[in-house]
């Protein structure tokens, strides 16, 4: 900066001081003045991507700026999350994380380059996503009981698609496998969008996926669903039994998706973003699309940044005794 620039800048700071504002408060007041980047840690077309696009599409209208989705894939979502943790904390780079990137990855990866609580500000929960046990449409078992017997009998031959170590599909199928006492072959993809394509094409045998990705395929008859791992059936799939109904009550799994900002993002910016999420979740069109895809809209008390912070803490505590470190 030249002398003139320095003078201008110091004048700016002096004006702000006169108004009782710090420069970060002033930036937050006008926020956002340009496009916002939303990092999605998995491939396009998967549940995280779909939920992020539905909600940020509405948030962009509220905020008056475009929200650009950037799919950054790899390492079960942790590559993108590391990048988001190191981004400028000015509200212009955010991430849509989930139960994997912001909870299960902590005990899974002892050398994780970020910590969900220390390196991020919680912004707001977007949607809960029940987990389904899915299979290619020509896998022989016709119900969950037959599937369990089949996987046990063919443990060394069957394979399970997932979105990388630490992804929701990986962690929830590991949980299923430990309930069943089997160790099938895992086949990693960059997201369950591409994993679903492989399931539809019959290239992999089964998958534990968040509901959002699966409803259109199940209803279209391109894959089969053995059960939903929640206490109640899902209204978008009334014919799919719960795991309890189908004979496997021990397998319960529901994931969640939420927006986070790098640590130190100004509180006023977080408040604006959270208000935009809340507004999106109250919009009839947004609600309809989320519900049609089987997701669960958070109750009002669960939509605050503080509630998301509490969720992250409890989810890390929940997964720590369940998952084993990978390195």
Give whichever of 126 and 227 is closer to ligand ASP, judged by the CB atom: 126
Give whichever of 77 and 266 is closer to ligand ASP, judged by the CB atom: 77
46 binds ligand ASP (CB under 6 A): yes
294 binds ligand ASP (CB under 6 A): no
Give whichever of 106 and 270 is closer to ligand ASP, judged by the CB atom: 106
168 binds ligand ASP (CB under 6 A): yes
Q: Which long-range contacts (CB under 8 A, 24 or more apart) does 82-88 make?
A: 82/113, 82/114, 83/39, 84/39, 84/120, 84/260, 84/262, 85/113, 85/114, 85/119, 85/120, 85/262, 85/263, 86/114, 86/262, 87/39, 87/262, 88/262
Of these, 28, 36, 38, 48, which contacts ligand ASP (CB under 6 A)? 48
192 binds ligand ASP (CB under 6 A): yes
210 binds ligand ASP (CB under 6 A): yes
Cα→Cα distances 19→128, 169, 243, 269, Å: 42, 51, 60, 19
177 binds ligand ASP (CB under 6 A): no
Give whichever of 77 and 305 is closer to ligand ASP, judged by the CB atom: 77
d(CA 108, CA 208): 18
Q: Looking at 151-159, 160-168, 281-289, 310-318, which segment touches ligand ASP (CB under 6 A)?
A: 160-168
Least distance from C-beta 73 to ligand ASP, angstroms?
Answer: 9
d(CA 311, CA 308): 5
The residues binding ligand ASP (CB under 6 A) are 42-43, 46-49, 98, 100, 163, 167-169, 191-193, 210
């Amino acid at each position: 900066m030249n002398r003139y620039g320095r003078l201008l800048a110091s004048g700016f700071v002096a004006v702000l001081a006169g108004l009782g504002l710090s420069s970060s408060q002033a930036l937050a007041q006008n926020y956002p003045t340009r496009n916002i980047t939303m990092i999605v840690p998995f491939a396009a077309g998967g549940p995280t991507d779909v939920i992020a696009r539905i909600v940020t599409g509405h948030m962009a209208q509220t905020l008056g700026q475009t929200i650009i989705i950037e799919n950054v894939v790899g390492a079960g979502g942790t590559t993108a999350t590391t990048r988001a943790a190191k981004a400028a904390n000015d509200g212009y780079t955010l991430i849509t994380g989930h139960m994997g990137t912001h909870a299960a990855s902590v005990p899974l990866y002892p050398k994780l380059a970020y910590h969900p609580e220390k390196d991020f500000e919680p912004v707001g929960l977007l949607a809960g996503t029940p987990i389904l046990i899915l299979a290619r449409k020509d896998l022989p078992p016709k119900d969950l009981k037959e599937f369990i017997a089949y996987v046990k009998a063919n443990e060394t031959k069957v394979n399970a698609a997932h979105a990388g170590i630490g992804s929701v599909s990986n962690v929830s199928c590991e949980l299923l496998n430990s309930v069943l006492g089997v160790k099938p072959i895992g086949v990693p993809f960059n997201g369950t969008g591409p994993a679903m394509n492989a399931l539809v094409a019959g290239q992999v045998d089964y998958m534990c996926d968040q509901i959002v990705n699966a409803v259109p395929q199940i209803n279209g008859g391109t894959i089969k669903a053995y059960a939903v791992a929640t206490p109640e059936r899902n209204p978008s799939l009334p014919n799919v039994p719960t795991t309890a109904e189908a004979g496997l009550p021990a397998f319960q799994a529901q994931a969640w998706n939420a927006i986070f900002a790098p640590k130190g993002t100004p509180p006023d910016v977080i408040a604006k973003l959270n208000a935009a999420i809340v507004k999106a979740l109250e919009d009839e069109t947004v609600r309809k699309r989320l519900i049609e895809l089987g997701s669960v809209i958070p109750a009002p008390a669960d939509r605050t940044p503080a509630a998301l912070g509490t969720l992250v803490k409890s989810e890390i505590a929940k997964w720590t005794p369940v998952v084993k470190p990978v390195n």
